[in-house]
Amino acid sequence: MIPVQGVENQTIAVLGLGRSGRATVAALAAGGANVVVWDDGADTREEAAQEGMKVVDLTRDAHWDGISALITSPGIPHLYPRPHPVIAKACELGVPVDNDIGLFFRSFASREWEDFDTAPRVIAVTGSNGKSTTTALIHHILRESGRPTQMGGNIGTGVLSLDPAHDGEVVVLELSSYQTDLARALTPDIAVFTNLSPDHLDRHGGPGGYFAAKRRLFAEGGPDRAIIGVDEPEGRYLAGQLAMAPQDDRVIRISSGQKLERFGWSVFARKGFLSEYRKGRQIASIDLREVTGLPGEHNHQNAAAAYAAVRAVNIPPREIERAFHSFQGLPHRSQTVAEIDGIRWVNDSKATNVDAAAKALTAFKRIRWIAGGMGKDGGIEALSPYLDEVVKAYFIGHSARDFALQAGRIPHDVLGTMDEAVARAAAEAQPGETVLLAPAAASFDQYPNFEKRGEHFTALVLALTS
């Protein structure tokens, strides 16, 4: 745990008692604060009271006397589409509102650092897609290189539940727009922006607000190095705002598909090869085509971002390349589950929409495609340009028949369940083919979440080996 600094003897309110909220309560108490809590759920409030937390009704003015700050969980709206009533009350009363990310950045450094040979550093990763994979890959490379490292934030451990830093440690954080939007302190040493696509627009009041939430990590934080994906206009704009000139190597531009040779420092992936350039000269190259844990152009962009981040903390290219090959990927994201009799089985259950499914469908050759579930508006019609490598499709779940009507010329079966799809694909697949679960649909017709769907697929595949 990281005790929160600067709160001794202050009364701090915490709104929301999920994972991050409970960790925040503990970290504030460890820092000497008098903590009061509130949650919209009556059962959660009762459980908190039984655990010894001081529950007060923050919807009532009388309970705000003496409260010096409100700490809110990231999932609770603070502005759009409308502020939560407790946050609105705090703003009305002039009580500062923060979140656990802000508390982390103001509390991570400690007096113990004076005895360290090498100051700990923080790498923070944000963007629309690839944040989790990029964060996990950076952490993996650091660990494989022998550097002390922790990972947390929007992936793994909550930031205030991390251990106090060790000498020379690198902490890697995944930060969502919900987390960066509100944090009052954002001071990473290295900040990564992967890409931008429309998401959470109601929460941020539109695309401008969404981009502004991501941009805060760089504008407010002033990182020593900014790693910026420049495959979208917003990334190019952000890189231009941060750099003093094209040769300013404090900004490392990254891309999947573009050659970036004219800048002070750049990393890009094209045609399966990653290249690092400095001041117009190539200084390293890695063949990504045989890196099984990072298939497809979208993962090559993740590889470029992670490579740039660890180069910024002086990890040599050859160590990075070795770590790439031992990276297994994250569960449910283009995850190779097994190779059986020359057939590759890939779990991309996280591909819950057509954009994500398109990326998966372009990452492999000779595909037997398992798709379906609770389809979204438009079904799979937008995927027609990405089906050239599909040998056959196996449609399951609520939208199976609708998907079949949109499948066009590709051979397909309409099936009921994952069990049937895996069994049929196993019976028909040939060596050299890939059986790909990329549903292009939500899971809620048959599973509580995409993780459970992916776990079921994985279990069925592994059962084929027994």
Residues in the annotated binding site: 127-133
How far from 282 is each of 263, 287, 322, CA to CA, in Å?
11, 14, 20
Non-local CB neighbours of 420 within 8 Å, separated by 6+ positions: 394, 396
For residues 181 and 76, is the Cβ–Cβ distance under 8 A? no
Are 168 and 116 within 8 A, CB to CB? yes
CA distance 116 to 106: 19
- CA-nearest of 323, 256, 249 to 283 is 249
Contacts of 163 (CB under 8 A, 6+ apart): 1, 2, 150
Contact 153, 179 (CB under 8 A): yes
DSSP letter assigned to residue 233: H
DSSP H/E element including 413: strand 412-414
Cis check: omega of the bond before 246, within 30 degrees of 0 = no
C-beta of residue 5 within 8 angstroms of C-beta of residue 31: yes
How far is the C-alpha of 62 from the C-alpha of 41, rounded, in Å?
21
Residue numbering of the annotated binding site for ATP: 127-133
The full DSSP string for 264-275 is SEEEEEETTEEE
Q: Residue 117 CA to chain centroid, in angstroms? A: 31
Measure the N-to-C terminal CA separation of the chain; round to a whole number of Å: 42
Alpha-carbon span 321 to 298, nearest angstrom: 18
